[in-house]
């Protein structure tokens, strides 16, 4: 994965160069799309008491979270900041170069959780990879050089969308749990340890969470979505 990233346009370009990329340039179509979206005005939404779907990407899409050490660093930051700001984590997935997390709480504390958990994890990720690079790890050295060239660990802004409907919450949970499968990292959601799949379906979770929508036992979310669909249609079913 590191070799693929090192040969990608994201590794070669600095953030000041990315906005100039177009679909016809050496920059990949995916990188152009993300640069376009990143430069458009995007307004995050926060609503008291709602679940909030948060997305944050590593600057330059570097695979800082491809190692267990990097993933544990993010989990520790979440654990610390949710207690500090009084928010609940209802679901998550940690991918090699981005994260999704479902957070419930009042608007301002959720915003603070996002800001300070990213700051905290950025600081510790730098420390982890600098130490590994000094120990002679060439992969870590390449990542440290990339971090230093961009001057940041995370992209400038995280995305946050407040979810007011139960079916939207369930949909985001399903999306997160299936993200590693769609990327081809595993063949089934339960094979990816770095998500909240085990919290809902049973297994050994890497982070204790507060199940969404009041679930207090592992549940089959597909069945819950069916129930939500029936309720939305007035009990008529499909």
Mean pLDDT, to the nearest integer, of 111-134?
95
How does pLDDT run across 35-86, given as a tens digit for each residue? 444 444 568 999 999 999 999 999 999 999 999 999 999 999 999 999 999 9
Share of the chain above pLDDT 90, in %: 64
Q: What is the DSSP letter of 26?
A: S
Residue 31 confidence (pLDDT) = 40
pLDDT exceeds 80 at position 107: yes
Q: Note the pTM of the prediction, 2 decimals.
A: 0.76
In this prediction, residue 29 has a pLDDT band, given cuts at 50, 70 and 90, of: very low
pLDDT, residue 213, reads: 82
**Token output for 63:** 């695979």
**Which pLDDT score is estimated for 191?**
97
Q: What is the mean pLDDT of residues 160-171?
A: 95
Query: Do 181 and 132 contact (CB within 8 A), yes or no?
Result: no
Going by C-alpha positions, the residue among 202, 227, 200 that lies closest to residue 211 is 200
- The pair of three-digit structure tokens given for residue 111, joined into one six-digit string: 């915003």
Whether domain 42-232 has CATH 3.40.630.30: the reply is no
pLDDT, one tens digit per residue, over 132-148 is 999 999 989 999 998 88
What pLDDT does residue 55 have? 97
Q: Which pLDDT value is given to residue 48?
A: 96
pLDDT for 220 beyond 70: no
Residue 15 clears pLDDT 80, i.e. is over it: no
Which residues lie closer than 8 Å to 162 by C-beta, 6 or more apart? 45, 46, 47, 50, 51, 52, 107
Task: Encode pLDDT of 168-212 as tens digits.
Answer: 999 999 999 999 999 999 999 999 999 999 999 998 999 999 999
Q: Inform me whether the pLDDT recorded for 238 exceeds 80.
A: no
* In the chain, where the domains are located: 1-41, 42-232
- Residue ranges in 86-220 assigned as alpha helix (H): 107-134, 138-150, 166-182, 197-201
């Amino acid at each position: 994965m590191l070799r693929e990233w090192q040969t990608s346009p994201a590794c070669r370009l600095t953030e000041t160069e990315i906005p100039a990329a177009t679909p016809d340039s050496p920059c990949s179509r995916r990188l152009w799309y993300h640069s376009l979206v990143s430069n458009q005005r995007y307004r995050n939404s926060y609503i008291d008491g709602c679940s909030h779907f948060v997305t944050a990407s590593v600057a330059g899409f570097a695979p800082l979270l491809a190692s267990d050490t990097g993933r544990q660093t993010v989990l520790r930051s979440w654990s610390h900041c949710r207690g500090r700001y009084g928010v609940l984590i209802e679901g998550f997935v940690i991918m090699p170069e981005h994260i999704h997390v479902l957070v419930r709480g009042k608007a301002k504390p959720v915003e603070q959780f996002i800001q300070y958990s990213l700051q905290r994890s950025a600081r510790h990720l730098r420390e982890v990879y600098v130490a590994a690079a000094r120990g002679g790890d060439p992969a870590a050295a390449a990542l440290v050089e990339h971090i230093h060239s961009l001057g940041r660990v995370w992209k400038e802004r995280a995305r946050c969308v407040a979810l007011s409907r139960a079916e939207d919450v369930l949909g985001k949970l399903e999306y997160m749990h299936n993200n590693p499968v769609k990327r081809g990292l595993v063949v089934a959601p339960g094979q990816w340890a770095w998500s909240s799949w085990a919290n809902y379906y049973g297994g050994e979770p890497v982070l204790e969470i507060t199940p969404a929508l009041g679930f207090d036992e592992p549940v089959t979310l597909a069945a819950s979505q069916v129930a939500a669909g029936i309720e939305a249609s007035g009990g008529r079913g499909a």
